[in-house]
Each structure stands twice: as structure tokens, then as C-alpha cells.
Amino acid sequence: MTGDREVEALRHLAALERLERIIAAFASMVSHQTRTALVGIQGLSELMMDGELTRDEVRAYATDIFREAQKIDAMIGEMFDLNRLETRQAPFRQVDMDLNRLVSETSSRTNAHLALDPELPVVKGDPDRMKQALQKIFGFVGRTAEGGSRIEVSTIRKPCAAHITVRSSSSRVVDFEDWLYGRYERYEHRPSAILGAGLGLAIARAIVELHGGRIQVDAPSGGGAEFEITLPAPEVSAAAAEPETEPRASR
């Protein structure tokens, strides 16, 4: 028993140390990004105070200030959300999920080409959170893909697991892999666009892990990016695994 308690204590200590590193990294990110945004807001405000601007110029500057404030608010909100997910404090429900339906609905605005396995098993989890994870991945692909990029999304049933694969022919993932493995320290002084994309991947990873799954990323030699989500699923017969509705045709 003493050995088990020591192992458990060490596990808790490691978790606390990781949490401290995450909080420190996030605090540094928020501080840096907020200072950067405030410099821009201050400069625009000074121009507006001069009183020599036209109404259209004032409106344009006010719009820029509003957008900067929105960026800060969104970034802080995502950091808090990621922290709740990392520490298992985020709301999470367990219901039957039709992954084919979630993939189809989430990818509807991406013009992705779908190949959905009609025998994909039902998976237990939180549909809203899983949809959020997929949206983050599609959002990352959209941010980093070049014009004319082809996006392919597929699902497949494997023993005791359901797989979702998202491929983009031109997205660049090399600079963001650390976000999928919880290594945030390198990014505290990066531009907000990179920080936002990285946060999205980190949130997707945390959500998948809450479901007992894992997410992997690969950068094929021919270019592009490939994300593979693996979720645990009960081993059931093919008939029982059929979704409630017919899968939508590939686009």
C-alpha cells in the first residue's frame, strides 16, 4: 500500500508541476499579447484625440480598436477554456455520439470531401465538445492552407475504436506540433495569429483526451497536414453499429 501511495503522490505532484508550467506560460502569453494590442489601441486613441480626423477615419480607427479588444477577449477565453480542459474542470457529459453526423455537420462550410464509414460505431462522449474539437481542427486547416487546398475527411471503424482523419493538401503543421503535446512555453512571444491557431489545436487535443482518445498529426513528405483522431468504442456487430441516419454523400 505504501508503494501505491507513493506512486499516486508522485503522479499528483507531476500533475501540479505541469499545471504550474501551463499557468506560467499562459500568463506570459496573455501579458505579451495584451501589451502588443494595447500599444496599437493607444496609438489609435491618440490619433482620435487629436480631433483632426474625419468622421470616416474616426469610425475606421474605432473599428480597429474594437477588433483588437475582441482578439484579446477571445484569446483569454480560449486560454481559460484550455485550462479547464487540462485540469478536468470543464463541463462534460456522456451520451451516444454519431460521429459521422458530427463530422458532416462540422465540415459543411469547408467544402471538404467526405468518406464516411457507414459501420462506424456509436461512441460515448460530449457531442458539443467533440464538435468544438473538430471545428478547431477545421479552423486550423483554414488558417494555414494555401488557396486551392484540398481537404479530405474520412471516418473508419477499427477494432474497439473509431477513427477520424482530416487531410489538407497544403496546410503547414510543423510550427504547431508542440501544441498537440502540451508544450506551450515556446509560443509566448509569437504573433497572435500563430497563438490563436496553436490554442485551437491544444483545445482539440484536450477534448479528445477527455474522451479517452488521442490525436496525432503528421506532415507527409509531399506537403500538407494529416490529423488522426482515435476514440475508444465498444466492439459491436456491424448491424448494431449502423448510424440512425444515412451518411451524407461525399462532396
**Which one, of 81, 127, 125, lies nearest residue 104 by Cα?**
127
Cβ-based neighbour number of residue 35 at 10 Å: 9
**Cell numbers 490525436 correspond to what residue?**
215
pLDDT of residue 183: 52
Is the model's pTM score more than 0.75? no
Just give the CATH number of 2-86. 1.10.287.130
Residue range 184-216, pLDDT digits in tens? 544 444 444 455 567 788 899 999 999 999 998
pLDDT of residue 81: 87
* Cα distance between the two ends of the chain: 57
d(CA 36, CA 38) in angstroms, rounded, equals 6
pLDDT of residue 126: 96
Residue range 92-129, pLDDT digits in tens? 999 999 999 999 999 888 888 999 999 999 999 999 99
CATH code matching the domain that covers 95-241, chosen among 3.40.50.1010, 3.60.20.10, 3.90.550.10, 3.30.565.10: 3.30.565.10
pLDDT of residue 28: 65
d(CA 84, CA 99) in angstroms, rounded, equals 24
pLDDT of residue 187: 47
d(CA 153, CA 100) in angstroms, rounded, equals 10
d(CA 179, CA 140) in angstroms, rounded, equals 12
Domain boundaries for CATH 3.30.565.10 within the chain:
95-241
**pLDDT tens over the chain, length 251 residues:** 566 777 777 776 766 666 666 666 666 666 666 777 777 777 877 777 777 778 888 888 788 888 878 877 887 788 788 888 888 888 899 999 999 999 999 988 888 899 999 999 999 999 999 999 999 988 888 777 676 678 899 999 999 999 999 988 766 665 555 555 555 544 444 444 455 567 788 899 999 999 999 998 887 776 778 889 999 998 654 444 444 444 445 44
pLDDT of residue 77: 84
Domain boundaries for CATH 1.10.287.130 within the chain:
2-86
Which cell is 106 given?
A: 462540422
**Which one, of 29, 57, 78, lies nearest residue 199 by Cα?**
78
How far CA 97 is from CA of 2, 91, 111, 162, in Å, comes to 41, 17, 23, 11
Q: Give 147: exposed, middle or buried? Use CB within 10 Å, 0-12, 13-18, 19+.
A: exposed
In Å, the largest CA–CA distance within the chain is 76
